[in-house]
Amino acid sequence: MQVSVEKLDDFARRLKISVSGERFRQGIHARIRELSKTVHLNGFRHGKVPALVIEKRFGAQIRDEVTQNLIRETLAEAVREQKLRPAHVPNVVRDSDVTNEFAYTATFDVMPEFPVIEVADLRVVREVAEVTDADVERMIDTLRRQRMSFHPVERAAGAGDYVAFEFVIAAGDLRIPEEGAERGLTAIGQKQVLPQIEEGLVGLCAEQSRSVQADFPADYRDERLAGKSTSIEIKVLRVNEARLPEVDDAFAGSFNIPGGIDSFRREVRANLERELGQALSARLRGVVVEQLLTKYGELGVPNSLVTEEARTLQRQAVAEMTERAKRAGQPVPPEPALESLREMARRRVLAAMLLNEIATKNGLRLDEGRVRTALAAIASTYEDPSEVVQMYQQDQRLMNGLRARVMDEQVAEWVAGHCQVTEQSRSFQEVLQPGAKPVT
């Protein structure tokens, strides 16, 4: 086998590989002999199909199969010989068929050669927190609200009630709807409708009406109402009182947790502790990554990986914008330009490579126990945790993503154990609240 390596830039390499054409032909003949003994064809005894018939029926398929196998074998051998570390699957182009040789070209980026990653001088603020009795009771209250029931009442609507109503909006010659009335349902105090409508519902009993005035903002999604002052006629159809279940053994049983309410509280605490542990690990990873990028942020990374990551970010952004626009009833904004995402993509790629380099050089191995704990924490937030666990176990992409996250968190733990760490106490709510950011 002959191999030549061409350096295209800091990371791009072009390998030209050629082997004897005889090796390719022998592979084809061996595959034909194998098929002649195993293939079933009408008119021939099993194992007695002539080679010429096999060649005629399966020749193109055999050549493709042997070509792929020979490329896979020789490329792996060439990469090992040249001590190269491809950063992605090589792009392979087969040369024109030549009688006396089998040749192809493989182009790919290689992984960078990192310096020794020193972490002893990093300064990391590590957040610590614990689950308190108040956190457990707060979660139980949330679970109660998820199981609240609603009962019609004769009294006037007040805070916490669910009110069914109908309304008509008028502004000059404009009437919405043109005929009849629109219907709505809202919880008083949840701010799900215009403030003027919600305020107008308070104090009304079923079948009572009230007229309120409302000014719509200039950017309101319905262009017919944008920037207009309107009169809204509202009529209450039904007032429903929300009733929370008692926190007792029956309530615990509704979650299929045996042992009564004491066992239920222990289960809630265990779930919160798993969730808190995962959140603290993720936040520590964020802090460690920022410190590593501050120190090693100027290191180069393969352009192909940056482009691939930028495209991933672009797809994610489009999906999120589409979902938000759908919920708001607005048109989907244009997708962000790929170039605008390249710096973020470069940092993400470099962060992953730095964490991988630390893991490799220090012999860190994935802890499958932590993977199971992480999966349990994810599943515990759903109605049927077993279904979520099964979904992950049957989807290799999901499991690979989870394992990668856990491995990154293990590396961050290792870094925290070998650098300068300051602990900062946080409450459960501060760690888990939406939009909370790690301390840096």
In single-letter form, the type of residue at position 99 comes to: T
CA distance 223 to 190: 25
pLDDT tens column, 77-130: 999 999 999 988 999 998 876 567 899 999 999 999 889 999 999 999 999 999
Q: CA angle at residue 359 from 380 to 84, to 5 degrees?
A: 125
- What pLDDT score was predicted for residue 424? 95
pTM: 0.72
Answer whether CATH 3.30.70.1050 is correct for domain 2-109: yes
CA distance 114 to 355: 11
- What pLDDT score was predicted for residue 438? 45
CA distance 55 to 62: 8
Q: For residues 427 and 433, which has the higher predicted lDDT (pLDDT)? A: 427
Examine the pLDDT at 48 and tell me if it is beyond 80. Answer: no
Beta carbons of 251 and 267 less than 8 angstroms apart: no
Q: Where in the chain is the domain with CATH 3.10.50.40?
A: 149-243
pLDDT tens column, 403-412: 999 999 999 9
Percent of the chain, pLDDT > 70? 97
Average pLDDT along the chain = 90
pLDDT tens column, 293-338: 999 999 999 999 999 999 999 999 999 999 888 887 778 889 999 9
Nearest alpha-carbon partner for 21 in 127, 109, 99? 99
- What pLDDT score was predicted for residue 99? 61
Q: For residues 406 and 382, which has the higher predicted lDDT (pLDDT)? A: 406
Classified by CATH at the fold level, domain 149-243 comes out as: Chitinase A; domain 3 (3.10.50)
pLDDT tens column, 136-195: 999 999 999 888 888 999 999 999 899 999 999 999 889 999 999 999 999 998 888 889
For 30-58, what is the mean pLDDT?
79
For 18-45, what is the mean pLDDT?
83
What's the number of CA atoms in the CB half-sphere (13 Å) around residue 434? 0
Answer whether CATH 1.10.3120.10 is correct for domain 123-139+256-432: yes
